[in-house]
Structure 1
Amino acid sequence: MGLVLGQENMKRYETFDHRADIGIRGYGKSVEEAFENGAKAMFSVMVDINDVKPVDKEDIDCEAPDLETLFVEWLNNLLSNAHLNGMLFCSFKVEINANKLRGSAWGERLEKHTNHLMTEVKAATYSMLKVVKEDDGYIAQCIVDV
């Protein structure tokens, strides 16, 4: 579906087809960066995140017994926050310490983008879930229910 490259042509994130749902994959030099780029991938399913301005900030804290579950918790907490507060996010910062995540998300109000919404993401799932270290960095991926 789509691959986004960052500086030095390093992959940042991508989306991929998965039956009736969509897969998201975040890449990073650190696991935190992979989580941040995974969030960008998820919100890029909903809207062109390049059109969203980082005006308002929301803080997200979550914890889980392992990195894979923490990735799904992070994404679902972002979705819950976005739905409850009528937000779309475009920029993310994550700190992970053991099984706890402290994150921030920046974006703007949904009503500014209602004419530009693409696909609603209902939830991040455990399907195809993985957080792995590879030679050139980390990958965090899962399937999102649309």
Structure 2
Amino acid sequence: MASMITVGETSGFGWEHFHHDADIGVRGRGRSVAEAFEQAAVGMTRIVTYSPIAADIQIDVECRQSDLELLFVDWLDAIIYEMATRNMLFGCFAVRVEELALRGSLFGEPVDVARHASACEPKGATLTALKVTQDDSGIWSAQCVIDV
């Protein structure tokens, strides 16, 4: 990792971007795997815009996979899909993970070009630098590189 930009961090939890050539790495940390997934989703949204996003509309998604790492990629790809097909941005997320099934709610609003100064558009979550782990203190971390 060449450089690290840490934003949205409190008490060791939150999200951060990490450098990866032309793409952007995103990492979320939390007290549970669900919280780490939520924080990574916020970090991914901040790739698109730093502008405030209203939580006016709720969209629910479900993912199921054979392991936590692939579930994490599916989760981020589901958010990217919903952003693209609904022309929306999401800034708040609620996740429940039971075994290898995820139920998530995305809260956001339609894109407003005048308010949501766009940085770049995520194309998809990749398997590059993909890790979902729990450290010795019980903190979960979920990360991967986002193709932009």
- TM-score bracket, normalised by the shorter chain, equals over 0.9
**Structure in which a larger fraction of residues adopt helix:** 1
Match of 2:124 in 1: 123
The alpha carbon displacement at 1:114 in A equals 6.4
The alpha carbon displacement at 1:116 in A equals 0.3
2:49–2:116 CA contact under 8 A, matched in 1: no
Deviates more, 1:105-114 or 1:83-92: 105-114
Q: Which runs of 5+ in 1 are unaligned?
A: none
Secondary structure in structure 2 of the residue aligned to 1:61: strand
Mapped to 2, the partners of 1:115 and 1:24 lie a distance apart of 20
Match of 1:101 in 2: 102
Residue 28 (structure 2) aligned to one of 18, 26, 29: 26
Match of 2:82 in 1: 81
Residue 5 (structure 1) aligned to one of 9, 14, 21: 9
Taking structure 1 as reference, are residues 125 and 114 closer, same or farther at Cα in structure 2, changes over 3 Å only?
Answer: farther
The alpha carbon displacement at 1:96 in A equals 0.6
1:38–1:140 CA contact under 8 A, matched in 2: yes
The alpha carbon displacement at 1:112 in A equals 4.9
Matching residue's letter, 1:38: A
Mapped to 2, the partners of 1:113 and 1:100 lie a distance apart of 37
RMSD: 1.4
Aligned length: 143
Mapped to 2, the partners of 1:132 and 1:113 lie a distance apart of 39
Deviation track 1:47-106 (CA, whole Å, cap 9, x = no partner) reads 115x11111110010111000000000000111011111110000000011111000010
Mapped to 2, the partners of 1:67 and 1:37 lie a distance apart of 16
Taking structure 1 as reference, are residues 46 and 113 closer, same or farther at Cα in structure 2, changes over 3 Å only?
Answer: farther
Segments of 4+ in structure 1 off by > 2 A?
111-115
Q: Which runs of 5+ in 2 are unaligned?
A: none
